[in-house]
Structure 1
Amino acid sequence: MSYYFSKTLDMPFAAGIEHVTRKLAGKGFGILTRIDVQHTMKVKLGVDFKPYMILGACNPHFAWRALQAEDKIGAMLPCNVIVTEIAPGKIEVAAIDPMAAMGAIDNPKLATTAKDVRLLLQETIGEL
Protein backbone atom coordinates (compact mmCIF):
# COMPACT_ATOMS: atom_id res chain seq x y z
CA MET A 1 0.00 0.00 0.00
CA SER A 2 1.32 3.41 -0.90
CA TYR A 3 1.43 6.06 1.81
CA TYR A 4 0.37 8.89 -0.51
CA PHE A 5 -1.54 9.76 -3.67
CA SER A 6 -0.37 12.29 -6.22
CA LYS A 7 -0.99 14.06 -9.48
CA THR A 8 1.23 15.95 -11.89
CA LEU A 9 0.00 19.28 -13.26
CA ASP A 10 1.21 21.67 -15.95
CA MET A 11 1.28 24.77 -13.78
CA PRO A 12 3.86 27.13 -12.28
CA PHE A 13 4.83 26.40 -8.68
CA ALA A 14 3.31 29.50 -7.01
CA ALA A 15 0.06 29.17 -8.96
CA GLY A 16 -0.03 25.49 -8.02
CA ILE A 17 0.12 26.27 -4.32
CA GLU A 18 -2.82 28.65 -4.64
CA HIS A 19 -4.76 26.19 -6.81
CA VAL A 20 -4.24 23.35 -4.32
CA THR A 21 -5.17 25.61 -1.40
CA ARG A 22 -8.45 26.59 -3.09
CA LYS A 23 -9.31 22.98 -3.94
CA LEU A 24 -8.62 21.88 -0.36
CA ALA A 25 -10.80 24.71 0.94
CA GLY A 26 -13.60 23.46 -1.29
CA LYS A 27 -13.47 20.17 0.66
CA GLY A 28 -13.43 21.91 4.05
CA PHE A 29 -9.66 21.93 4.62
CA GLY A 30 -7.82 24.98 5.85
CA ILE A 31 -4.06 25.37 5.67
CA LEU A 32 -2.64 25.59 9.20
CA THR A 33 1.02 25.54 8.24
CA ARG A 34 3.20 26.27 5.23
CA ILE A 35 6.75 24.97 5.28
CA ASP A 36 8.94 26.28 2.49
CA VAL A 37 11.47 23.46 2.30
CA GLN A 38 13.56 25.14 -0.40
CA HIS A 39 14.02 28.24 1.76
CA THR A 40 14.65 26.24 4.93
CA MET A 41 17.35 24.10 3.30
CA LYS A 42 19.08 27.21 1.97
CA VAL A 43 18.99 29.06 5.29
CA LYS A 44 19.75 26.13 7.60
CA LEU A 45 22.11 24.03 5.48
CA GLY A 46 23.29 26.39 2.75
CA VAL A 47 22.13 23.96 0.06
CA ASP A 48 19.99 24.54 -3.00
CA PHE A 49 16.80 22.52 -3.35
CA LYS A 50 13.90 22.55 -5.76
CA PRO A 51 10.73 24.53 -4.94
CA TYR A 52 8.97 22.34 -2.38
CA MET A 53 6.14 23.44 -0.09
CA ILE A 54 4.54 21.36 2.66
CA LEU A 55 0.97 22.45 3.37
CA GLY A 56 -0.48 21.34 6.70
CA ALA A 57 -4.13 20.80 5.79
CA CYS A 58 -6.83 20.38 8.41
CA ASN A 59 -10.55 19.76 8.16
CA PRO A 60 -11.79 20.81 11.62
CA HIS A 61 -14.83 18.51 11.51
CA PHE A 62 -12.70 15.43 10.92
CA ALA A 63 -9.93 16.57 13.26
CA TRP A 64 -12.54 16.84 16.02
CA ARG A 65 -13.82 13.34 15.25
CA ALA A 66 -10.27 11.96 15.29
CA LEU A 67 -9.44 13.67 18.59
CA GLN A 68 -12.61 12.29 20.14
CA ALA A 69 -11.64 8.78 19.05
CA GLU A 70 -7.97 9.03 20.03
CA ASP A 71 -6.76 12.07 21.97
CA LYS A 72 -3.05 11.56 21.13
CA ILE A 73 -3.80 11.59 17.39
CA GLY A 74 -2.84 15.25 17.42
CA ALA A 75 0.74 14.00 17.09
CA MET A 76 -0.20 12.93 13.54
CA LEU A 77 -2.18 16.01 12.54
CA PRO A 78 -2.53 17.94 10.27
CA CYS A 79 -2.57 16.04 6.97
CA ASN A 80 0.42 17.00 4.87
CA VAL A 81 0.03 17.92 1.22
CA ILE A 82 3.16 18.72 -0.77
CA VAL A 83 3.57 20.82 -3.87
CA THR A 84 6.90 20.43 -5.61
CA GLU A 85 8.28 21.69 -8.89
CA ILE A 86 9.47 18.77 -10.99
CA ALA A 87 10.30 20.88 -14.08
CA PRO A 88 9.72 24.50 -15.07
CA GLY A 89 5.95 24.92 -15.36
CA LYS A 90 5.26 21.40 -14.03
CA ILE A 91 4.41 20.44 -10.46
CA GLU A 92 3.56 17.33 -8.52
CA VAL A 93 0.99 17.46 -5.74
CA ALA A 94 1.00 14.63 -3.21
CA ALA A 95 -1.14 14.04 -0.13
CA ILE A 96 -0.64 11.66 2.74
CA ASP A 97 -2.96 8.66 2.83
CA PRO A 98 -4.49 8.91 6.32
CA MET A 99 -5.21 5.18 6.32
CA ALA A 100 -1.51 4.42 5.88
CA ALA A 101 -0.50 7.04 8.44
CA MET A 102 -2.93 5.81 11.09
CA GLY A 103 -2.80 2.11 10.26
CA ALA A 104 -0.69 1.29 13.32
CA ILE A 105 -3.41 2.53 15.68
CA ASP A 106 -5.95 -0.13 16.61
CA ASN A 107 -9.05 2.03 16.95
CA PRO A 108 -12.11 1.34 14.74
CA LYS A 109 -13.58 4.83 15.28
CA LEU A 110 -10.33 6.42 14.18
CA ALA A 111 -10.15 4.10 11.17
CA THR A 112 -13.61 5.26 10.06
CA THR A 113 -12.55 8.90 10.29
CA ALA A 114 -9.29 8.17 8.44
CA LYS A 115 -11.29 6.52 5.63
CA ASP A 116 -13.51 9.58 5.32
CA VAL A 117 -10.52 11.95 5.21
CA ARG A 118 -8.80 9.66 2.71
CA LEU A 119 -11.80 9.92 0.39
CA LEU A 120 -11.81 13.74 0.60
CA LEU A 121 -8.08 13.98 -0.07
CA GLN A 122 -8.31 11.52 -2.98
CA GLU A 123 -11.18 13.53 -4.46
CA THR A 124 -9.21 16.75 -4.06
CA ILE A 125 -6.12 15.36 -5.77
CA GLY A 126 -8.26 13.81 -8.50
CA GLU A 127 -10.04 17.11 -9.19
CA LEU A 128 -6.87 19.19 -9.52
Structure 2
Amino acid sequence: MRHFDIKETLESKGLEFDQPYRVLEVCNPQEGKKVLEENQMVGYFLPCKMVVYEGAGTTKIGLPKPTALIEMVKDDSLKQFAQDMEDRLITCMDRAV
Protein backbone atom coordinates (compact mmCIF):
# COMPACT_ATOMS: atom_id res chain seq x y z
CA MET A 1 0.00 0.00 0.00
CA ARG A 2 1.27 3.45 -0.91
CA HIS A 3 0.25 6.64 0.80
CA PHE A 4 0.54 10.31 0.05
CA ASP A 5 0.92 12.87 2.81
CA ILE A 6 -0.91 15.85 1.32
CA LYS A 7 0.13 18.22 4.12
CA GLU A 8 3.81 17.36 3.59
CA THR A 9 3.52 17.63 -0.20
CA LEU A 10 1.87 21.05 -0.08
CA GLU A 11 4.35 22.35 2.46
CA SER A 12 7.27 21.13 0.30
CA LYS A 13 5.85 23.40 -2.43
CA GLY A 14 5.75 26.40 -0.10
CA LEU A 15 2.03 26.18 0.68
CA GLU A 16 0.67 26.14 4.22
CA PHE A 17 -1.76 23.38 5.13
CA ASP A 18 -2.41 22.95 8.83
CA GLN A 19 -4.26 19.67 8.85
CA PRO A 20 -2.90 16.10 8.61
CA TYR A 21 -4.35 14.60 5.42
CA ARG A 22 -3.31 11.28 3.84
CA VAL A 23 -4.45 9.49 0.72
CA LEU A 24 -3.98 5.71 0.83
CA GLU A 25 -3.83 3.58 -2.29
CA VAL A 26 -5.62 0.37 -1.34
CA CYS A 27 -6.12 -1.41 -4.65
CA ASN A 28 -5.70 -5.17 -4.82
CA PRO A 29 -3.50 -5.82 -7.90
CA GLN A 30 -5.31 -9.04 -8.83
CA GLU A 31 -8.70 -7.33 -8.66
CA GLY A 32 -7.37 -4.33 -10.58
CA LYS A 33 -6.10 -6.59 -13.38
CA LYS A 34 -9.40 -8.49 -13.47
CA VAL A 35 -11.56 -5.40 -13.82
CA LEU A 36 -9.22 -3.77 -16.37
CA GLU A 37 -9.50 -6.86 -18.53
CA GLU A 38 -13.27 -6.33 -18.51
CA ASN A 39 -13.23 -2.60 -19.25
CA GLN A 40 -10.12 -0.43 -19.51
CA MET A 41 -12.08 2.74 -18.74
CA VAL A 42 -12.13 1.61 -15.10
CA GLY A 43 -8.45 2.59 -15.04
CA TYR A 44 -9.59 6.18 -14.53
CA PHE A 45 -10.60 5.16 -11.00
CA LEU A 46 -7.60 3.00 -10.11
CA PRO A 47 -5.95 2.57 -7.76
CA CYS A 48 -8.72 2.53 -5.19
CA LYS A 49 -8.18 5.17 -2.56
CA MET A 50 -9.08 5.91 1.04
CA VAL A 51 -8.60 9.29 2.67
CA VAL A 52 -7.68 9.80 6.33
CA TYR A 53 -7.74 13.26 7.91
CA GLU A 54 -8.57 15.11 11.07
CA GLY A 55 -11.66 17.24 11.35
CA ALA A 56 -13.48 18.75 14.33
CA GLY A 57 -11.15 16.96 16.74
CA THR A 58 -11.72 13.46 15.33
CA THR A 59 -10.09 11.30 12.71
CA LYS A 60 -12.15 10.88 9.56
CA ILE A 61 -11.78 8.06 7.04
CA GLY A 62 -13.61 7.76 3.74
CA LEU A 63 -13.46 6.72 0.11
CA PRO A 64 -15.04 7.41 -3.24
CA LYS A 65 -17.63 4.64 -3.54
CA PRO A 66 -16.78 2.16 -6.30
CA THR A 67 -20.52 1.74 -7.02
CA ALA A 68 -20.83 5.45 -7.78
CA LEU A 69 -17.64 5.55 -9.86
CA ILE A 70 -18.55 2.49 -11.93
CA GLU A 71 -21.77 4.21 -13.04
CA MET A 72 -19.62 6.55 -15.13
CA VAL A 73 -18.45 3.79 -17.47
CA LYS A 74 -22.03 2.58 -18.16
CA ASP A 75 -21.12 -1.11 -18.02
CA ASP A 76 -23.75 -3.10 -16.14
CA SER A 77 -21.54 -6.20 -16.08
CA LEU A 78 -19.24 -4.44 -13.56
CA LYS A 79 -21.88 -3.35 -11.04
CA GLN A 80 -21.60 -6.47 -8.88
CA PHE A 81 -17.81 -6.28 -8.93
CA ALA A 82 -17.99 -2.66 -7.73
CA GLN A 83 -20.46 -3.58 -4.98
CA ASP A 84 -18.23 -6.41 -3.75
CA MET A 85 -15.18 -4.13 -3.71
CA GLU A 86 -17.10 -1.39 -1.90
CA ASP A 87 -18.35 -3.84 0.73
CA ARG A 88 -14.79 -5.06 1.39
CA LEU A 89 -13.39 -1.54 1.63
CA ILE A 90 -16.12 -0.43 4.04
CA THR A 91 -15.44 -3.50 6.18
CA CYS A 92 -11.77 -2.47 6.32
CA MET A 93 -12.71 1.07 7.32
CA ASP A 94 -15.09 -0.18 10.00
CA ARG A 95 -12.33 -2.33 11.49
CA ALA A 96 -9.95 0.63 11.54
CA VAL A 97 -12.27 2.78 13.64
Kindly state the Cα deviation for residue 127 of structure 1 after the two structures are TM-superposed. Answer: 2.1
Q: Name which structure has the greater RCO, CA cutoff 8 Å, separation 6+.
A: 1
SS at 1:78 equivalent? coil
The 4+ residue runs of structure 1 with deviation greater than 6 A are none
Matches within 5 A, 1:1-128: 31=1, 33-86=2-55, 90-128=58-96
Matched-pair contact (CA < 8 Å) for 1:52–1:85: yes
Give the letter aligned to residue 124 of structure 1.
C
Aligned pair count reads: 96
**Alignment RMSD (CA, Å):** 1.7
Matched-pair contact (CA < 8 Å) for 1:38–1:52: yes
1:52-91 CA distances to partner (integer Å, 9 max, x unpaired)?
0000111123212211210232221011101112256x31
Matched-pair contact (CA < 8 Å) for 2:42–2:73: no
Bigger fraction of residues in strand: 1
> What corresponds to 1:20 in structure 2?
none
SS at 1:102 equivalent? helix
Output the TM-score relative to the length of structure 1: 0.66
Q: Which structure 2 segments of 5+ residues have no match? A: none
Bigger fraction of residues in helix: 2
Matched-pair contact (CA < 8 Å) for 1:36–1:53: yes
Identity of aligned residues (%): 24
Output the TM-score relative to the length of structure 2: 0.84
